Structure 1
Amino acid sequence: MDYRHQPAVTLAEVAQAAGVGESTVSRVLRNHGSFSRKTRDRVMEAVERLGYVPNRIAGTLASAGSRLVAFVIPSLSNIVFPDVLRGASAVLEANQHQAVFSVTDYDPEREEALVAAMLAWRPTAVMLAGFEHTQGTLKMLRASGCRVAELLDLDGTALDLAVGFSNRAAGRASAEFLLRRGYRRIGYVGHDLDRDTRAAKRHDGFCEALGAAGAALAGREIHAGPSSVEGGRLGLERLLARYPDLDAVYFSNDDMALGGYFHCLARGIPVPSALALFGHNGLDIGRVTPQPLSTIRTPRVATGQVAAELVVADAPPQAVDLGFELIEGATA
């Protein structure tokens, strides 16, 4: 059954499940008035089990809430997500919808808390990055009755709408390109793969393609923290200290790859003759470096635009593959 056609869980349903009156549920949720600890525990157990989110919009404000589109994104320091917002905002504004956003810092527990906060305003849609969410987040989204768009990934099962590309395929394409160029001693520099699940899928796809060609990563360095130019520079420095004979390095994204490029410039390492570098995302800055970065260009603005168009049109559940483009550049 298509979950989006199910009505949102109501206060009355919570009251029935907890065996108390609606006014008691309201007092518990507002933490105002008298009720016993036992009653509170029963109410909160029912809230968690049903995935109920209190409605903060009442009366005449309800119609305004239906025009909200909530974005729960991992980062604003990475240009990827502002690009998605830029693509979506133009469509939403043209259709009298208002975008609001919050930032998770790649923390799934924080994402759950922010989804709860956003759903309390009864948005018409919630947009998130990727498919990996806590069980609590999934339960709330399924019970919300609003549209859900999961962005920048197609390697998983969508709740409702999915718009983006296959990160595993992007990783495989990156490895196949380096192998075609004759590189065999290939290393990897990345950031926190446990939190950035899309980067982890690219890493896995890259390793799969190497394995299919009878090769494997010669070395790997994972930066403890979010992706950054500095993290890429330090990561490559540490990787080369352990594996000085590498002939190519694949980075988790362009921020990290640019840091690696700056390390090579500072140390006089010729790129790509002594060491090839390959990134991911196709950021504008990578095109204007002394040697344009070899990378995968992702459809960030288009992802936001298409997702917003689907929400505004109330399109049926679907996955839209926007693909990606391999940019040969000059660093590999």
Structure 2
Amino acid sequence: MTNPLPLKSEKPSRTTLRDVAILAGVSEISVSRVMRNAPNISDSLREKVMTAANALSYTPNRVAGALKNQTSNLVAVVLPSMSNDVFPSVLDGIETVLNEHGLHAVLGVSEYDSERELRVVRELLSWSPMGIILTGLHHSDHIRGMIAQLDIPVVQIMDVEGDPIGSAVGVSHSVAAVAAADYLHGRGYQKFGYIGAWSERPGRSRARRLAFERRLAELGTPLVASHISKDRSSAIVGSEATKALLSAHPNIDCLFYANDDLALGGLFHAMRAGIDVPGKLGLMGFNGIEIGKATPLPLTSIETPRFEMGEEAARLLLSQSSEGFRVVDLSFKLVEGGTT
């Protein structure tokens, strides 16, 4: 589903290095040294300059010193992680379309950390890319301010539930979670648990958990317990979390996971512990990654169109100046495997 949005109003002019120097009460040379991470900079000077830079949504303009026309064939792409098959697939889709137009993606990884995301975005924008692709709809005011000053196309991926800066393409995570709850309840499971990671910094996984909980309550089978690891998603984390949750709540007969990495770890734990899956314990993941389909018991999961999402993000970026902002809701698919 595609929803056209109106073109945004005129953008503010780009903040200069001199503006930052004036606000910070230091010289332009001092600001330049801080922004270049030069050695022998005092903590007080760095804090003074960065406070002013953040207040003004400042990004250095590295292209200005290298190219007179200040143009670029680069597209900035900020992803939260590259540790599993999810975001590499999205990036493949983005690059497939960009390459057809002689453009190149330059990547930054935020590790689901807002401060790191700010640093990554500032660095990428300093090269004056022709556009930027961000992950998710929730970003700091500093990031929104920097992008507004540059007046470049922006697309946000993975989610469509919120207030996008520009165009957006993704899936409805709350709708997907409700579909998961309805399916698992329909399979006869009654005692549900949930397992997540990254301290639930990804807002999308939190949205799924909350929607999953609400739907279970409506169905008369409220969530028994959840386990949210502070560590990054991995099969090992999923295995350990599954063991811990089942030890504390042995009556749980079905687990819904924030993603397939965690769910596969849960499956491996069940196999080692001799737990009958899906008879005694149902397991369901999210994303539908390839390895989940290749296990002896294929993983039941919500499959998201990651490659297509990347392709559509690049198309939206390239068409934004002529067609305005759009929100594209791509459909997910519930893939029934052998774990439910």
CA shift in 2, pair 1:48/1:218, >3 Å: closer
SS in 1 for 2:159: coil
Counterpart-to-counterpart distance in 1, 2:69 and 2:240: 51
Output one character per residue of 1:128-187: Cα deviation in whole Å (capped at 9) or x when no partner: 110122222222122221111111011211000111011111111111110111111011
Counterpart-to-counterpart distance in 1, 2:120 and 2:59: 12
Contact 2:236 2:265 in 1 (8 A): yes
Give, in angstroms, the shift of residue 66 of structure 1: 2.6
Specify every segment of 5 or more residues in structure 2 that has no aligned partner in the other structure, as ranges. Answer: 1-5, 35-44
- Using CA pairs under 8 Å that are at least 6 residues apart, name the structure with larger relative contact order, 1 or 2: 2
Contact 1:153 1:165 in 2 (8 A): yes
Q: Are residues 1:172 and 2:178 paired?
A: yes
Q: Are residues 1:108 and 2:110 paired?
A: no
Which residue of 2 is the match for residue 225 of structure 1? 231
Counterpart-to-counterpart distance in 1, 2:262 and 2:24: 54
CA shift in 2, pair 1:191/1:60, >3 Å: closer
Which residue of 1 is the match for residue 41 of structure 2? none
Contact 2:20 2:53 in 1 (8 A): no
Which residue of 2 is the match for residue 9 of structure 1? 14
Which residue of 2 is the match for residue 258 of structure 1? 264
Output one character per residue of 1:52-89: Cα deviation in whole Å (capped at 9) or x when no partner: 21210026626574311011111111211110100010
Counterpart-to-counterpart distance in 2, 1:16 and 1:29: 6
Which residue of 1 is the match for residue 250 of structure 2? 244
CA shift in 2, pair 1:205/1:270, >3 Å: same
Give, in angstroms, the shift of residue 277 of structure 1: 0.3
Percent of aligned pairs sharing the same letter = 37
Which residue of 2 is the match for residue 155 of structure 1? 161
Moved more, 213-222 or 103-112: 213-222
Q: Are residues 1:329 and 2:337 paired?
A: yes
Which residue of 1 is the match for residue 212 of structure 2? 206
Which residue identity is paired with 1:29? V
Which residue of 2 is the match for residue 35 of structure 1? none
Match of 1:85 among 91, 97, 112: 91
Counterpart-to-counterpart distance in 1, 2:207 and 2:146: 25
CA shift in 2, pair 1:60/1:117, >3 Å: closer
Moved more, 239-248 or 50-59: 50-59
Q: Root-mean-square deviation (CA), in Å?
A: 2.6
Specify every segment of 5 or more residues in structure 1 that has no aligned partner in the other structure, as ranges. Answer: 33-38
Counterpart-to-counterpart distance in 2, 1:103 and 1:15: 26
Moved more, 154-163 or 187-196: 187-196
Which residue of 2 is the match for residue 36 of structure 1? none
Contact 1:193 1:199 in 2 (8 A): no
Contact 1:164 1:322 in 2 (8 A): yes
Scaled by the length of structure 1, the TM-score of the pair is 0.89
- 1:172-321 superposed matches below 5 A: 172-314=178-320, 315-321=323-329
Contact 1:4 1:147 in 2 (8 A): no
Contact 1:65 1:121 in 2 (8 A): no
Q: Are residues 1:137 and 2:139 paired?
A: no
Counterpart-to-counterpart distance in 2, 1:19 and 1:262: 55
SS in 2 for 1:61: coil
Match of 1:31 among 33, 53, 60: 33
Contact 2:301 2:336 in 1 (8 A): yes
Counterpart-to-counterpart distance in 1, 2:68 and 2:127: 9
Output one character per residue of 1:170-218: Cα deviation in whole Å (capped at 9) or x when no partner: 1111111101111110111111344121111111111111122122111
Give, in angstroms, the shift of residue 299 of structure 1: 1.0
Counterpart-to-counterpart distance in 1, 2:222 and 2:259: 20
Contact 1:207 1:217 in 2 (8 A): yes
